[in-house]
Amino acid sequence: MTEQHTNIYNFGFIDEDSKREVRRQLLKAVALPGHQVPFASRDLPIGRGWGTGGLQITMAIIAASDTLKVIDQGDDESVNAVNLRRLLTRTTGVSTTVDTQAATIIQTRHRIPEEQMREDQILVLQVPMVDPLRWVEPNLERATVMHGEADYGRMWVYMYESVIKAGDIRIATQYPVIVAGRYMMDTTPIPRWDVLRLHNADHLSLFGAGREKRVYAVPPYTTVEPLEFEDFRFKTEYAEGQRCHRCGATNTFLTGHFVKSPGTDEPGHWVTSCSDASYCDKQMVAQGWTEAQE
């Protein structure tokens, strides 16, 4: 790393007491999978809503020996990911990586890396909205009671209504799931593609919402079941014949780009490529590609 760890700030920016408080709430969250645990969200040199929840979790659990990977929408090089990574490395001095396999902590927004994660890895997700019941019960106090009593009837009516009105379940993202057969949880803006990858995963997933001041968790080997009906199943995003135009992968979550060469008259066209950029690169290297070629 080119930037040195400075001693102006405490290791991991926030003070030890605050880190301990976050860890305490995380323990509670792990003990009650899917249950939202309030925590005292600290002020950070980043605006609330820009990943401060995930950032505080990472700050609270990171150690000097960790290897960090930060992604945003699957990409290691997006502005937000770069900024968060820089803040973390400047205040901790830990080494970073883009390789999913090499990382011990992966902080992410909107994606779970394509590569299968291991038991010794932790996934930290930045969460904008925490409560799936927000759609049907705007009153937080009442929604808390509903969670406590597992009163999810109204949420199921919402699912029923979506089938009746649209002919199928029409929830694109933030798909609600039942964790460990008990709490209903929002899966954050990860695509439906990633929802099933939380189910009985080998790794620990920690969710943090800085603005909403809540953390929650899915421990390893915990059931995560999307809300679905026997005759209207949960479906992931998938189009017949889908393919990444770079690495050729057919089994990844793809995003679309509009490609047009500047200064020419050609009309341009849409291409799809892997949303997980580092995975895509890794696949291409395996196929004999070098960075200079692009």
Q: Compute the least distance from the CB of residue 162 to another protein, in Å.
A: 10
Nearest to another protein of 145, 172 (CB atom)? 145
Closer of 109 and 147 to another protein (Cβ): 147
Structure tokens at 79: 């502005």
CB of 167 to another protein, least distance (A): 11
Closest CB to another protein among residues 82, 136: 136
Assess whether 34 carries a catalytic annotation.
yes
Residues that bind another protein (CB under 8 A): 145, 148-154, 156-161, 163-165, 228-232
| Residue 53 annotated in active site | no
Choose, from 153, 263, 280, 288, the residue flagged as catalytic.
280
Minimum separation from the CB atom of position 218 to another protein (A):
21
Options 34, 53, 54, 208, the catalytic residue: 34
Nearer to another protein, 46 or 196 (CB): 196
Residue 280 designated active-site: yes
Catalytic annotation present for 54: no
Q: Please, what is the minimum distance in Å from the beta carbon of residue 18 to another protein?
A: 32
**Active site (catalytic) residues:** 34, 244, 247, 274, 280
